[in-house]
Amino acid sequence: MSSSQHARPDHPIHDLMVRRWSPYAFSDKLVPAADLRSVFEAARWAASSYNEQPWRYIVATKDDSAAFNRLLACLVEANQEWAKDVPVLAIGCTHLKFSRNGKPNGVAIHDLGLASAQLTLEATSRGLVVHQMAGILPDKVRLQYHVPEDVQPLTALAIGYAADPANLPEKYRPRDTTPRSRNPLSSFVFGSDWGSPAPIVSPS
């Protein structure tokens, strides 16, 4: 990957998080199945409310073109445009009810996010990149894969190896070459009042 896309943190963070990013340009190189197993194993070991593990993933790899195209068709058109070239696609779903009592799991979406975050860092450690997408067609996922009513298809994940953005369609190129930015800690770590930066982030 281009190091220009590395995070430039204000405070030291783990190298895996420095290197994680969401590219549009993917190489067509296939991902070894053993790496993919480890990537989903990392999701498996995420924390979750009551250890419910509400996450579910539907996965398709480029070497099975029928399965891949079926999954690709569940993305919105704008995402299909670049994701058609990635070697692995997944749809992240989450079970909205606790299996123990059938009651709503108010953090099911949160827990899918945690699992996908772990998955992403494991992928990064293996030289892979993950680009998540909210732009999916949930009803189509439901229909195509017979997703039960209590399960919400929520995100897609493109998994593979970053490639040279020079080969991207012009409109996507700046997104892979513009330096990444973030809001400062003082804008979201509060102390005595909403909007008031916590002392730890604004030492006097």
Ligand X SMILES: Cc1cc2nc3c(=O)[nH]c(=O)nc-3n(C[C@H](O)[C@H](O)[C@H](O)COP(=O)(O)O)c2cc1C
Q: Footprint of ligand X on this chain (CB under 6 A)?
A: 21-22, 79, 132-135, 155, 180
Residue 104 and residue 1: Cα distance in Å, rounded?
Answer: 41
Cβ nearer to ligand X, comparing 31 with 156: 156
Cβ at position 203, least distance to ligand X in Å: 27
Nearer to ligand X, 100 or 180 (CB): 180
Q: Of the two residues 36 and 86, which places its CB atom closer to ligand X in the complex?
A: 86
Smaller CB separation from ligand X, 79 or 152: 79
| C-alpha–C-alpha distance, residues 147 and 2, integer Å | 38
Q: How far is the CB of 128 from ligand X (least distance, A)?
A: 14
The least distance separating ligand X from the CB of residue 132, rounded to whole angstroms, comes to 4
Exposure pattern of 42-74 as b/e (b: 16+ CB <10 Å)? Answer: bbeebebeeebbbbbbbbbbbeeeeebebbbeb
Q: In the complex, what is the shortest distance from the CB of residue 134 to ligand X, in angstroms, rounded to a whole number?
A: 4
For the chain, the distance separating the N- and C-terminal CA atoms, rounded to the nearest angstrom, is 38
What does R_g of the chain's alpha carbons equal in angstroms? 18
Q: Hey, is 135 helix, strand or coil?
A: coil
Buried b (16+ CB within 10 A) or exposed e, 106-120: ebbbebbbbbbbbbb
Cβ at position 131, least distance to ligand X in Å: 6
What is the spatial distance between Cα 200 and Cα 161, in angstroms, rounded to a whole number?
Answer: 37
Euclidean distance between CA atoms 26 and 165, whole angstroms? 8
Query: Which is nearer to ligand X, 21 or 55 (by Cβ)?
Result: 21
CB 175 to ligand X: min, Å: 8
Q: In the complex with ligand X, which residue's Cβ is closer, 36 or 129?
A: 129
Are 157 and 89 in contact, with CB atoms under 8 Å apart?
A: yes
